[in-house]
Amino acid sequence: MIKLAENRYGKCRVRVVRIKRDRPVHEFTEWTVEVLLTGKFTECFESGDNSLIMATDSMKNTVYSLARDTGAGTIEDFGLELTDHLVKTNPQIDSASASIKNVPWGHITVDNIAAPSAFIKGGGEVETSEVTRQRDGAPTVTSGIENLVIIKTANSGFEGFIRDAHTTLPETADRLFGTAVRARWIYAAGGLPFAEARCTVRNALLKKFAEHESRSVQHTLYAMGKAALEDVPEIKEIELTMPNKHCILVDLTKFGKTNPNEIFVPIEEPYGYIEATIRRED
């Protein structure tokens, strides 16, 4: 017997720019929203009956309409509002998920004064959130950061690893340690001060990275995740992905010069890849 198994559908890359002009200093935000639904969609897949299908174009328009009226100050709060609306107005839906990315923008500073209506896009770092709401049950809120690019030039080494016939990497107690952190953390409940919690998590990750006496990427990854859980008790777990951003020491002996760990060449690939989840035990 053949039957339809797990399925969902939705609208991706719904881009929204919101501008608040009702104040002397304007606010500018840019979101990219993804909506996914699960529900009673078997007949659509198996027989082509669309009578219980909400058009993905309608999902896009729902995002724009709610963005016009929302009082949400964070992507988490908007995700909660959007999923609540979708579930309440569509009885055929079992669950709704909203994944949102926030691109950072800041005011241009001129002569140490923030221009009230001129903005500059931030670096590559992106704030993320995913809200999943079941029809019966509390919503799950996950926040995150992507492409948090950091590097340290001291207090990092890699020694004592397995050496075999294919090992050429020398051990070192003094290396550059660069990475692009992706972090995702799950809250124990909704309705929290998400902006404050996000700031605390980010600061905890950066502080521990800067201060940690690193013996490996794994060693520092765990310390960073542990610090975030300690500083934000509302978090149940945090997943960290930390690829190595390698900087290779350049051999200058052919030019009759030494290289006391000062001249490096950055490489994009291949690269080491480390990820782990650090979870709070009951």
Structure-model confidence comparison of residues 33 and 22, the more confident one? 33
pLDDT for the residue numbered 137: 86
Q: Given the structure tokens 């972090």, which residue do they identify? A: 183
pLDDT for the residue numbered 108: 97
What phi and psi, each to the nearest 5 degrees, are found at residue 2?
-115, 130
Catalytic residue among 26, 29, 32, 56: 56
Give the residue-averaged pLDDT of 241-269.
Answer: 94
Q: Percent of the chain at pLDDT above 70?
A: 100
Measured distance CA(238)–CA(151) in Å, rounded: 21
Q: Is 246 a catalytic residue?
A: yes
Give the residue-averaged pLDDT of 82-98.
Answer: 97
Closest CA to 16 of 87, 53, 69, 95: 69
What phi and psi, each to the nearest 5 degrees, are found at residue 40?
-90, 75
50 DSSP 8-state letter: -
pLDDT per position as a tens digit, 102-141:
999 999 999 999 999 999 998 899 999 999 999 988 899 9
Give the class (CATH, top level) of 146-279. Answer: alpha beta
Closest CA to 5 of 35, 38, 34: 38
pLDDT per position as a tens digit, 200-235:
999 999 999 999 999 999 999 999 999 999 999 999
Token output for 226: 């542990």
Give alpha helix (H) positions in 180-216.
194-211
Determine the longest span between alpha carbons in the chain, in angstroms.
77
Give the residue-averaged pLDDT of 148-164.
Answer: 96
Cβ proximity of 78 and 127 under 8 Å: no
Give the residue-averaged pLDDT of 238-260.
Answer: 95
* 146-279 shares the fold of 9-137: yes
- What fold is seen in the domain 9-137? Urate Oxidase (3.10.270)
pLDDT for the residue numbered 123: 85
pLDDT for the residue numbered 189: 75
Closest CA to 65 of 94, 97, 43, 35: 35
**What amino acid occupies position 212?**
H
Measured distance CA(269)–CA(282) in Å, rounded: 40
What phi and psi, each to the nearest 5 degrees, are found at residue 74?
-135, 160
Catalytic residue among 11, 60, 101, 245: 11
- Confidence class for position 175, pLDDT limits 50, 70, 90: very high
Q: What is the pTM of this model?
A: 0.91
pLDDT per position as a tens digit, 180-197:
999 999 998 777 899 999
pLDDT for the residue numbered 192: 85
Catalytic residue among 60, 212, 245, 246: 246
Domain boundaries of the chain, sorted by first residue:
9-137, 146-279
Q: Is 152 a catalytic residue?
A: no
- Confidence class for position 282, pLDDT limits 50, 70, 90: confident
Which helix (H) or strand (E) segment holds residue 19: the answer is strand 9-20
Give the residue-averaged pLDDT of 146-151.
Answer: 96
Measured distance CA(209)–CA(235) in Å, rounded: 19
Cis check: omega of the bond before 270, within 30 degrees of 0: yes
